[in-house]
């Protein structure tokens, strides 16, 4: 069993209910959604974007595997958005009935290579790769959509 990381996310109340009751199924769409988001440009020299929809929000305590947590934070940091905003997008993707019918079998793997990390310099290499078949057993992938 993979180590779980407990964290909080902020969601609009309507989406929070979906996450609470269906998060195991919704997580299956994370790889597909992150792949869609990575079609855009990496954002730099801009402020982070957060959920800004009108209405009430709810802070939800949730658990992610280490692989899910790292993948979400990698994309969020690269696009300068909050993880909560990414989760909202994943929930919206899951809410589209036509998206639930088409199963793609997309999986992803996040990897971190620490080249140098000390008071003199920090050199990290993060990579995320996507696959479209069964994920290998030797890498910590996030949920497969199958």
Letter string b/e over residues 31-52, b meaning 16 or more CB atoms within 10 A of that residue's CB = bbbbeebbeeeeeeeeeeeebe
pLDDT for residue 145: 45
| Average pLDDT, integer, range 90-109 | 79
Task: Give the domain ranges of the chain.
Answer: 4-105
Residue 88 predicted with pLDDT over 80: yes
What pTM value is reported for the model?
0.83
pLDDT for residue 114: 94
CB 3 within 8 Å of CB 75: no
Residue 60 predicted with pLDDT over 90: yes
Residue 101 predicted with pLDDT over 70: no
**pLDDT-based confidence at 55, cuts 50/70/90?**
confident
pLDDT for residue 87: 97
In the chain, the N- to C-terminal Cα span, in Å, equals: 20
């Amino acid at each position: 069993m993979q180590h779980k990381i407990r964290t909080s996310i902020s969601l609009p109340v309507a989406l929070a209910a979906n996450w609470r009751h269906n998060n195991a199924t919704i997580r299956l769409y994370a790889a597909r959604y992150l792949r869609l988001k990575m079609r855009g440009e990496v954002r730099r020299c801009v402020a982070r974007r957060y959920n800004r929809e009108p209405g009430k929000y709810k802070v939800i305590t949730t658990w992610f595997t280490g692989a899910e947590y790292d993948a979400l934070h990698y994309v969020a940091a690269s696009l300068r958005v909050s993880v909560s905003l990414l989760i909202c997008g994943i929930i919206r993707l899951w809410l589209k009935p036509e998206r639930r019918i088409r199963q793609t079998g997309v999986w992803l793997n996040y990897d971190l290579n620490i080249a140098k990390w000390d008071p003199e310099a920090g050199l990290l290499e993060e990579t995320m790769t996507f696959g479209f078949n069964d994920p290998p057993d030797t890498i910590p992938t996030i949920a497969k959509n199958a």
